[in-house]
Amino acid sequence: MPALLNNQEQALLRGWMNRLGWPLLGQLYLDGADVGATRQTVQSLRQRLALKAQHLGMEEQASFWLKERLEGEAWIKQAESGLSSLLNAPEPQPALTDSVSQWFSKQLASKLQANQMGTLQAIVSFRQRHGKLWWQSLPKFGTHSAQLVERLLRLHAASLGLHDNALIPQKPGYITKHRTLHPVMENLFDAQEELNGANGTNRAPHERCRIQASNDFEAIHLWLDLRDPQSHTYRNYRKESERFLLWAVTERNKALSSLDTSDCKAYRDFLFAPPEAWMNPQFKPRWSPSWRPFRGPLGQRTVKHTEIILSSLCEWLVKQRYLDSNPFDGLPPLAFKELNALHVEHVLDDSQWQWLLDYCASCEASQATEEEKRRYRRIWIALQLAYCTGLRLAELANARFGDITYKSRNGGQYWLRVLGKGSKQREVPLAPELADELKRYALERGASWGIPDSPEPIIGKFRKTEVLVAANFEMQELPFTTSGLHRVLKAFFNESAAAMAKTATEEELRDVETLTRMTTHWLRHTHASHALGGGAALISVKENLGHASLSTTSLYLHGDKDQRYAEMGKLYRKRVEPNQKR
């Protein structure tokens, strides 16, 4: 069983007992935490000791740790003696039926009881229903209180009889750690088992099937499981395959393994105009009752991409001898000119990009709290890293300080190792100024610099003192998920647009519209366009972006079109000028 206090917590408490100042305690033991956070952490450690003393019937010790520290050697010796006795005493064992007042402070127990959580069992059940951020829906229930609850449950998981998955959120539709479904998907075949695909009309002979799948849902997930479940590709393929299955059963009244080419054409038409019942323009998590498969009708480019994914799924099922034929074979291609062209117009010009950086820097400088300053500092680092490297969003979220390598050639170079699309590895150069900035940022956060394979994320989600659930109960910085980083940056773009709109002239309103429409992928487009416009070689930008083909990278070469446009304009004006003199 983990100790009552780990080594770092014991060192922090002993520093407090020896009357070290709050700023120094935060610097030495809490990764530079501010005074408020340091006070709160020490207070929680003292409450932990007092509660253990209370359970052991050591009322004098319980009272001692709830009082403020005193001057003098006698008090320090008494504190050291009491701490040692509590650390060496056996841990009291809670039961799920215990009242929360037996294990938490009076104030925290009152908050829990006010929310119908009077026992430890009630807390476990509530957490399973609402997930690891369960406390956020509770009034006046902060991060610190949640940390105390989390620690108790995990510290005493064995004695409480909680199995390995007891603390995993059991939201509606929970299947496995990678297969969270909406309730509709989970119960899709309950009333119509004949549509599960076990006997689909397009099934290959069962005895020839090469995969262990008895129905369409299992077959789809065997295909999905070939991919990294944390990747954008996995999430995108899961979304497309599951809503195709849902459409087949509920709208077409067919098993997916019974669909033919005419059904695929009908699904194409459906994607262009889904019924209202299938749409919710607001983002909702997959387990929410308000979740819908679509946020709106799909554009031609997106429909084409959807058909490529689903045809790939069906082709794999044919090769695995689950399906007899691919129903997308023979489907006429969409008649859409330049369907494969990139959105190269999704680029910020130099002045827009500089304004965005300046706005972020001014926000950081003007914030009153350290927490807000750190938030804008993190966004500024994310913007610079994305712009200078051209990383995809998932690559940006997964970048670690340990992925930065130093090479001594040509005066010294810093490179970032990247695991990109299709699990292909590449190295991206870091400008000296960017490398210096990242080094300063790492030191600001107490992260490792220059240590190969160090796991600390370059763009971390929380400070170390703010994380609740972490391995071995130790607080550590966590990386953003791809969707989490997208939400943070998109919120910043919207905030920037609103700030610009307050003073924008009529001409500048176009810049406001650009920032409003901007997504994280625009940073990648902007990197490519600015690099090529600044004279970078096409092959260099291709390698930076991780493109498989130069033809894809060349789509960013719009500078020659700008030049051609300006030159043609000059020709026209030259022909007009002589006429004006006559």
Instruction: Dump pLDDT digits (tens) for 463-493.
Output: 443 333 333 333 345 667 777 888 889 999 9
CATH code, domain carrying 520: 1.10.443.10
Banded pLDDT at 567 (limits 50, 70, 90):
low
Q: Is 418 inside any structural domain?
A: yes
Q: End-to-end alpha-carbon separation of the chain, Å?
A: 98
Same domain membership, residue 391 and residue 243? no
Structural domain count, the chain: 4
Same domain membership, residue 114 and residue 62? no
Q: Is 160 inside any structural domain?
A: no
Same domain membership, residue 250 and residue 194? yes
Among 276, 304, 319, residue at a domain's last position: 319
Task: Return the pLDDT at 279.
Answer: 87
Banded pLDDT at 340 (limits 50, 70, 90):
very low
Query: CA 284 to CA 483: how far, in whole Å?
Result: 13
Same domain membership, residue 189 and residue 280? yes
Amino acid at 423: S
Task: Please indicate whether residue 580 or residue 384 has the higher confidence score (pLDDT).
Answer: 384
- Tens-place pLDDT, residues 74-95: 999 999 999 999 988 887 888 8
Same domain membership, residue 364 and residue 476? yes
Q: Is 570 inside any structural domain?
A: no
* Span of 1-5, 502-506, 538-542 with lowest mean pLDDT: 1-5
User: How many percent of the chain have pLDDT more than 70?
Assistant: 82
Has residue 301 got a pLDDT over 60?
Answer: yes
Same domain membership, residue 528 and residue 476? yes
Has residue 354 got a pLDDT over 90?
Answer: yes
Task: Return the pLDDT at 300.
Answer: 86
- Tens-place pLDDT, residues 400-453: 988 898 887 777 888 899 888 777 888 888 888 988 999 988 888 777 787 877
Banded pLDDT at 533 (limits 50, 70, 90):
confident
Query: CA 416 to CA 428: how far, in whole Å?
Result: 5
Please give the residue range of the domain that contains residue 365: 350-554
Task: Return the pLDDT at 43.
Answer: 87
Query: CA 550 to CA 533: how far, in whole Å?
Result: 16
Q: What is the mean pLDDT of residues 347-352?
A: 88
SS3 428: strand
Query: CA 305 to CA 271: how far, in whole Å?
Result: 12
Same domain membership, residue 489 and residue 452? yes
Banded pLDDT at 3 (limits 50, 70, 90):
low
On average, the pLDDT of the chain sits at 80
Task: Return the pLDDT at 371.
Answer: 82
Residues 6+ apart with CB under 8 A from 524: 386, 390, 391, 392, 545
* Span of 60-64, 347-351, 445-449 with lowest mean pLDDT: 445-449
Same domain membership, residue 397 and residue 369? yes
Q: Using CA of residue 142, residue 143, residue 146, residue 148, what is the dihedral sign?
A: negative
Query: CA 208 to CA 200: how far, in whole Å?
Result: 15
Task: Return the pLDDT at 181.
Answer: 47
Banded pLDDT at 54 (limits 50, 70, 90):
confident
Has residue 531 got a pLDDT over 90?
Answer: no
Q: What is the mean pLDDT of residues 2-13?
A: 78
Among 302, 319, 336, residue at a domain's last position: 319
Q: Is 385 inside any structural domain?
A: yes
Same domain membership, residue 191 and residue 123? no
Q: Is 333 inside any structural domain?
A: no
Task: Return the pLDDT at 202.
Answer: 95
Enter the DSSP assignment of 211.
S
User: How many percent of the chain have pLDDT more than 90?
Assistant: 23
Query: CA 323 to CA 325: how far, in whole Å?
Result: 6
Report for 65-69, 138-142, 145-149, 419-423: range of highest mean pLDDT = 65-69
Q: What is the mean pLDDT of residues 326-336?
A: 87
Task: Return the pLDDT at 57.
Answer: 84
Beta pairing partners, 404: 416
Q: What is the mean pLDDT of residues 336-342?
A: 48
Same domain membership, residue 208 and residue 150? no
Q: Is 560 inside any structural domain?
A: no
Task: Return the pLDDT at 345.
Answer: 61
Q: Is 248 inside any structural domain?
A: yes
Q: Is 276 inside any structural domain?
A: yes
Task: Return the pLDDT at 266.
Answer: 95
Same domain membership, residue 528 and residue 433? yes
- Tens-place pLDDT, residues 547-562: 777 666 666 665 555 5
Task: Return the pLDDT at 285.
Answer: 63
Query: CA 46 to CA 556: how far, in whole Å?
Result: 60
Same domain membership, residue 266 and residue 147? no
Query: CA 447 to CA 456: how far, in whole Å?
Result: 7
Task: Return the pLDDT at 446.
Answer: 75
CA atoms within 13 A on the CB side of 452: 3
Query: CA 135 to CA 168: how far, in whole Å?
Result: 15
Task: Return the pLDDT at 465.
Answer: 39
Q: What is the mean pLDDT of residues 95-122?
A: 88
Spatial contact of 22 and 38, defined as CB atoms under 8 Å apart: yes
Task: Return the pLDDT at 333.
Answer: 86
Spatial contact of 136 and 143, defined as CB atoms under 8 Å apart: no
Has residue 119 got a pLDDT over 60?
Answer: yes
Report for 11-25, 203-217, 284-298, 448-462: range of highest mean pLDDT = 203-217
Query: CA 25 to CA 37: how far, in whole Å?
Result: 11
Task: Return the pLDDT at 256.
Answer: 95
